[in-house]
């Protein structure tokens, strides 16, 4: 198990949260702490991370616009940095000197429904989506089974260390296939 690196004194991580979906209880300070902890863990000291918390309709539009998928999804992530090559981060050999600019879009409506099916808080489910999006921007890939397994283990490690408990690998009460959503993460 990897131990979470404490947030460094010189760390310059700006986290902006826009909540465009009202029917979810969340603690913005806790979510900001999550983002800063992930950045610290992967030695990212300068970043601006914007998080848009939206519902199904808004994320469906964005998913269609950017990925040509006409369905809601759990999260979308965009690296808007001038140097969008994240290989240095995924290798963890070269410290990141330039400021990164990440835009995360997470589906709170899906998080509420999925959390109910899986028996944990909607905030924990949303924290999973934020972590997943951020890990993609840090070079993680879940397109192959082995890489996905590593990514999801990392997500659960991070979430447990920050008090969200086991989220991704928790057994669900009902199959997501029965809920009508097309999932990209699970």
CATH number, residue 126:
3.40.390.30
Residue 168, classed as helix, strand or coil, is: coil
For residue 38, give its domain range. Answer: 12-169
Q: What is the pLDDT of residue 77?
A: 96
CA-based nearest residue to 84, from 31, 43, 138: 138
Mean pLDDT by 10 residues, the chain (186 residues): 43 92 92 96 93 97 96 95 57 57 97 92 95 95 91 92 79 47 44
Q: What is the pLDDT of residue 82?
A: 80
Classify residue 3: in a domain, yes or no: no
Classify residue 108: in a domain, yes or no: yes
Q: What is the pLDDT of residue 11?
A: 73
Q: What is the pLDDT of residue 83?
A: 64
- Residue 186, both tokens: 């699970």
Classify residue 178: in a domain, yes or no: no
**Please, is 34 exposed, middle or buried when counting C-beta atoms within 10 Å of its C-beta (0-12, 13-18, 19+)?**
buried
CB atoms within 10 A of CB 124: 20
Classify residue 113: in a domain, yes or no: yes
Q: How far apart are the two ends of the chain, measured CA to CA in Å?
A: 22
Classify residue 97: in a domain, yes or no: yes
Give me the number of domains the chain comprises: 1
Classify residue 26: in a domain, yes or no: yes
């Amino acid at each position: 198990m990897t131990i979470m690196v404490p947030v460094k004194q010189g760390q310059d991580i700006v986290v902006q949260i826009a909540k465009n979906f009202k029917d979810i209880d969340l603690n913005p300070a806790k979510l900001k702490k999550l983002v800063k902890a992930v950045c610290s863990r992967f030695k990212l000291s300068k970043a601006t991370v914007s998080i848009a918390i939206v519902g199904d309709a808004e994320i469906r539009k964005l998913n269609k616009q950017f990925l040509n998928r006409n369905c809601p999804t759990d999260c979308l992530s965009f690296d808007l940095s001038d140097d969008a090559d994240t290989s240095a981060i995924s290798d963890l050999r070269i410290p990141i000197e330039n400021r990164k600019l990440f835009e995360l879009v997470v589906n709170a409506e899906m998080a509420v429904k999925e959390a109910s099916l899986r028996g944990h808080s909607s905030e924990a489910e949303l924290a999973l989506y934020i972590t997943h999006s951020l890990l993609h921007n840090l070079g993680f890939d879940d397109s192959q089974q082995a890489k996905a397994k590593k990514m999801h283990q990392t997500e659960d490690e991070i979430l447990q260390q920050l008090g969200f408990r086991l989220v991704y690998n928790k057994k669900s009460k009902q199959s997501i296939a029965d809920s009508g959503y097309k999932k990209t993460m699970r």
